[in-house]
């Protein structure tokens, strides 16, 4: 066993129980793992990884083969990143293509090849001219195919009916798949991923089934026309990929801390393919999702994000070498006076964010607490039906939301056939196509305006009810759509105002007649950024994502102005973004790095036991029997026990994990001769000589963590919170003048924080 060799003991002690397996031939297989819905201990995971690394380094000097193995181990991080990038990019491409096809399937089918989407169908058709590129003989609406009518009331009703039927069909399939195969595949996944990355275990949340079902159902729900997006779930899908590949390498699969580094990078890859923004993805992971983000992870995340982006680009789902449908290039600069409407859009975004979070959380709480939650399939069916019935008549809600955003972002060029670009042209004018001056709006624009207004109201209401149902549902796209619609309307308003009143003081300096001074598409983009910012409270990553969409430094100032205003306005009504609100709703133990704890409480106010409570359950180093320990374990449900010199002196020796105590005793009883119920348990280094007929002692120093974290009872909670956050502790012991007084767990910290913020401390449910 080698445990009596003092050097070995010393090495084994160094990190509590981390490298136990090296010395005991893995006697209990579950050592070092965690139970489901429990918090991990970051320091311990880090220690274990360092041990592993040390072992490999020392072995690598022994033989060439070990050296090669150590090289492979060092490279495995990059290999995992490469694989994640490739798979995430491929999945994103496949999802894009499938959504494209299935969305069009609701309206018609391609006769030449049924697997073509509307656009692909008409590409292959050579007969089309530019003007009617959307009308090609191969593409047939359902009414044309079934009753040979393309116009008229009955054709409209048939198409309408089939549209709703397809939508219901997709949604029903999606919700059934989720319920039967992978209940964790619902929602956007970002709140749970944030919690997992902060060091929490939710088994199966990133499993293979979740990956498969989420990918398939994502296609179904997006195609069904529900008011949701694929961007958030793509992050979840990418994290599932990350989890899958990290399970292939023991470096990551056996260490919860290292695994989370991979997941952080995977989240970056997910955003990278969702928005075609690799740098934005990395910053999103850094700012919004990750908890522990060392510089090495930054670099690897960047690599994964790039690989994912390039994979997606080689799949080329949109047929234009772009990563997203709504990439734009503007040709006109913006002017100082326009900052005012931009800031107004920011205020709108902030208000929308507040409204959405409040209403959505209220509705989700209702779903959790009332009978509503018992009929998830019915709920999805009803919402889908309502969405489809209201959406079909309005051209702006009938199409897919990302196409809508794309149209709203676009500048009106000369070749644009959209209703939004129905301006009255000056027939005498001959100017290059990309420099069109401001023109008066035509009837199409006015029609578009009220259709957009209706679509806006509809989107605002329906999104509140959609997000949180038991299907994959992202929030980025609906938020952006709300902002883009509002922004485009404001933009057209400003444009027409400037056209008709170019002699007003505010326009006189920059908007002469015949100049192209207002770009309504830019307003749409600013509005989208504002609304997305209001809901998620992203800042830098939001601006960088938008910057990567436009590809110019030029428009950063409008975007920033709107994003900052939106954040400030939304923060004035409540500090929580939608993801934090959902984390809170679910009671996950998430210690946000952004929250500042500023109350004047001390560790002594938070620690257990409180005044009047039973004293702390402790183990003594050399006076308890196996039976005593077993009784203590049975009677309490604490995750671990401090070990003290004796009940009287209460001087702290170390800390023993419950799980490992149980395993060690079970193991000793099975394998070690002479260990019986009244064997004495020794946590000391050298148990004293026992009389010959006394039972064999049980030596447990090897599972004792000899460096438990302690603070004094006078430590301000502010410092304690900081320590928990930065070191990722599970628990911390409280002492006064060297005497053990109590214990503070992560749950205690979170409950105290909730209490100080006038929230219900019982809402924190897990440890």
Query: Which residues bind to its own copies, rule: CB under 8 A?
Result: 10-11, 13-15, 43, 46-47, 50, 53-54, 57, 278-279, 282, 286-287, 294-296, 298-299, 302-303, 306, 309-310, 539-540, 543-544, 547-548, 551, 553, 556-557, 560, 593-594, 596, 598, 600, 602-603, 645, 651-654, 706-708, 710-712, 714-716, 718-719, 722-723, 726-727, 735, 737-740
Tell whether omega for the bond before 609 is within 30 degrees of 0, i.e. cis.
yes
DSSP H or E stretch at residue 619: strand 619-620
Q: For the range 70-75, what are the long-range contacts, defined as Cβ-Cβ under 8 Å and sequence gap of 24 or more?
A: 73/251
- What CA–CA distance (Å, rounded) separates 686 from 565? 65
Minimum CB separation of residue 584 from its own copies in Å reads 19
Q: Which is nearer to its own copies, 364 or 549 (CB)?
A: 549
Opening angle at CA 31, ends 26 and 36, nearest 5: 145
Residue ranges of the alpha helices (H) in 392-442? 395-398, 401-409
Kindly give, in sequence order, each residue whose CB lies less than 8 Å from that of residue 279, ignoring residues fewer than 6 positions away: 302, 305, 544, 548
Minimum CB separation of residue 475 from its own copies in Å reads 21
Q: Which is nearer to its own copies, 265 or 498 (CB)?
A: 265
Minimum CB separation of residue 180 from its own copies in Å reads 40
Q: Which is nearer to its own copies, 303 or 342 (CB)?
A: 303
Minimum CB separation of residue 366 from its own copies in Å reads 33
Minimum CB separation of residue 423 from its own copies in Å reads 30
Minimum CB separation of residue 614 from its own copies in Å reads 23
Q: Which is nearer to its own copies, 204 or 294 (CB)?
A: 294
Q: On the CB side of 447, how many CA atoms lie within 13 Å of its CA?
A: 12
Beta bridge partners of 705: 655
Quick one: the chain helix, strand, coil %, rounded to 5?
Answer: 60, 5, 35
Main-chain dihedrals φ then ψ at residue 451, nearest 5 degrees? -65, -40
Q: Which is nearer to its own copies, 381 or 557 (CB)?
A: 557
How far from 377 is each of 172, 364, 365, CA to CA, in Å? 7, 15, 18
DSSP H or E stretch at residue 225: none
Minimum CB separation of residue 163 from its own copies in Å reads 37
Minimum CB separation of residue 713 from its own copies in Å reads 9
Length of the chain: 767
Whether the Cβ atoms of residue 607 and residue 743 lie closer than 8 Å to each other: yes
Closest-CA residue to 304 (of 285, 327, 326): 285
Residue ranges of the alpha helices (H) in 182-207? 190-197
DSSP H or E stretch at residue 519: none
- What CA–CA distance (Å, rounded) separates 367 from 646? 51
Q: Which is nearer to its own copies, 136 or 277 (CB)?
A: 277
How far from 385 is each of 170, 366, 479, 691, 759, CA to CA, in Å? 11, 21, 21, 81, 37
Main-chain dihedrals φ then ψ at residue 706, nearest 5 degrees? -85, -5
Q: Which is nearer to its own copies, 18 or 233 (CB)?
A: 18
Q: Which is nearer to its own copies, 200 or 302 (CB)?
A: 302
Q: On the CB side of 589, how many CA atoms lie within 13 Å of its CA?
A: 25
Q: Which is nearer to its own copies, 75 or 450 (CB)?
A: 75
- Interstrand relation of 739-745 and 731-736 (parallel, antiparallel or unpaired): antiparallel
Residue 459: how many other CB atoms lie within 10 Å: 23
Q: Which is nearer to its own copies, 380 or 740 (CB)?
A: 740
Q: Which is nearer to its own copies, 27 or 716 (CB)?
A: 716
Minimum CB separation of residue 78 from its own copies in Å reads 9
Q: How far is CA 385 from the centre of its chain?
A: 28
Minimum CB separation of residue 560 from its own copies in Å reads 7
Minimum CB separation of residue 507 from its own copies in Å reads 22
Minimum CB separation of residue 98 from its own copies in Å reads 25
286 secondary structure, DSSP code:
I
Minimum CB separation of residue 381 from its own copies in Å reads 41
- What CA–CA distance (Å, rounded) separates 393 from 159? 11
Q: Which is nearer to its own copies, 282 or 462 (CB)?
A: 282
Q: Which is nearer to its own copies, 108 or 654 (CB)?
A: 654
Exposed (0-12), middle (13-18) or buried (19+): which is 540, by Cβ within 10 Å?
middle
């Amino acid at each position: 066993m080698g445990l009596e060799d003092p050097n070995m003991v010393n090495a084994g002690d160094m990190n509590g129980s981390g490298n136990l397996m090296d010395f005991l031939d893995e006697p209990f297989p579950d050592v070092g793992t965690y139970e489901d819905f429990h918090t991990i201990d970051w320091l311990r995971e880090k220690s274990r990884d360092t041990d592993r690394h040390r072992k490999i380094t020392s072995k690598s000097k022994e033989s060439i083969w070990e050296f090669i193995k150590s090289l492979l181990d060092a490279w495995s991080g990059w290999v995992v990143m490469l694989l994640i990038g490739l798979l995430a990019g491929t999945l994103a491409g496949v999802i894009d293509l499938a959504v494209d096809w299935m969305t069009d399937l609701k309206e018609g089918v391609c006769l030449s090849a049924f697997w073509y989407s509307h656009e692909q169908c008409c590409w292959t058709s050579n007969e089309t001219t530019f003007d009617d590129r959307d009308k090609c003989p191969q593409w047939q609406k359902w009414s044309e195919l079934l009753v040979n009518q393309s116009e008229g009331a009955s054709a409209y009703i048939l198409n309408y009916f089939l549209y709703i039927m397809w939508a219901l069909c997709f949604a029903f399939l999606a919700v059934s798949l989720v319920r039967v195969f992978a209940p964790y595949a619902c929602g956007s996944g970002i709140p749970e991923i944030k919690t997992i990355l902060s060091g929490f275990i939710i088994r199966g949340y990133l499993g293979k089934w979740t990956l498969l079902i989420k990918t398939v159902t994502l296609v179904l729900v997006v195609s069904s026309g529900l008011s949701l997006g694929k961007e958030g779930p793509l992050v979840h899908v990418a994290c599932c990929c990350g989890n899958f590949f990290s399970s292939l390498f023991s470096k990551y699969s056996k260490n919860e801390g290292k695994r989370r580094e991979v997941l952080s990078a995977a989240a970056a890859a997910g955003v990278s393919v969702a928005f075609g923004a690799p740098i934005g993805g990395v910053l999103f992971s850094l700012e919004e999702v990750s908890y522990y983000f060392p510089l090495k992870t930054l670099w690897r995340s960047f690599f994964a994000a790039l690989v994912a982006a390039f994979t997606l680009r080689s799949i080329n789902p949109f047929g234009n070498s772009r990563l997203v449908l709504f990439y734009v290039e503007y040709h006109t600069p913006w002017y100082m006076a326009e900052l005012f409407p931009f800031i107004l859009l920011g205020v709108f975004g902030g208000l929308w964010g507040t409204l959405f979070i409040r209403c959505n959380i209220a509705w989700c709480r209702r779903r959790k607490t009332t009978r509503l939650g018992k009929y998830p399939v019915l709920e999805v069916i009803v919402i889908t039906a309502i969405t489809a019935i209201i959406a079909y008549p309005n051209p702006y809600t009938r199409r897919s939301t990302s196409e809508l955003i794309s149209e709203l972002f676009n500048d009106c060029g000369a070749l644009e056939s959209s209703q939004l670009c129905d301006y009255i042209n000056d027939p005498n004018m001959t100017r290059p196509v990309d420099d069109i001056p401001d023109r008066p709006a035509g009837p199409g624009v006015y029609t578009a305006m009220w259709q957009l207004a209706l679509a806006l109201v509809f989107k605002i209401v329906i999104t509140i009810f959609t997000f949180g149902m038991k299907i994959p549902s992202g929030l980025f796209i609906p938020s952006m759509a709300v902002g883009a619609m509002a922004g485009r309307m404001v933009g057209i308003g400003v444009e027409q105002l400037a056209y008709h009143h170019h002699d007003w003081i505010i326009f006189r300096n920059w908007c002469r007649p015949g100049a192209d001074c207002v770009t309504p598409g830019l307003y749409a983009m600013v509005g989208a950024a504002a609304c997305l910012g209001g809901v998620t409270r992203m800042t830098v990553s939001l601006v960088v994502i938008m910057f990567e969409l436009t590809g110019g430094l030029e428009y950063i100032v409008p975007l920033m102005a709107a994003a900052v205003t939106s954040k400030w306005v939304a923060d004035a009504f409540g500090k929580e973004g939608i993801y934090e609100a959902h984390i809170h709703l679910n009671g996950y133990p998430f210690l946000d790095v952004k929250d500042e704890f500023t109350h004047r409480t001390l560790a002594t106010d938070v620690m257990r036991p409180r005044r009047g409570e039973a004293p702390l359950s402790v183990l003594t180093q050399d006076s308890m029997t196996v039976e005593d320990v077993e009784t203590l374990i049975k009677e309490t449900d604490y995750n671990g026990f401090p070990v003290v010199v004796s009940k009287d002196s209460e001087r702290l020796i170390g800390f023993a994990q419950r799980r490992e105590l149980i395993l060690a005793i079970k193991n000793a009883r099975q394998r070690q001769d002479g260990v019986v119920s009244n064997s004495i348990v020794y946590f000391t280094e050298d148990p004293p000589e026992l009389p010959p007929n006394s039972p064999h002692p049980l030596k447990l120093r090897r599972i004792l963590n000899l460096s438990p974290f302690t603070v004094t009872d006078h430590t301000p909670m502010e410092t304690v919170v900081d320590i928990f956050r930065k070191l990722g502790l599970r628990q911390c012991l409280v002492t006064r003048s060297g005497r053990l007084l109590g214990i503070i767990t992560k749950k205690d910290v979170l409950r105290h924080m909730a209490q100080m913020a006038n929230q219900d401390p019982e809402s924190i449910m897990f440890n």
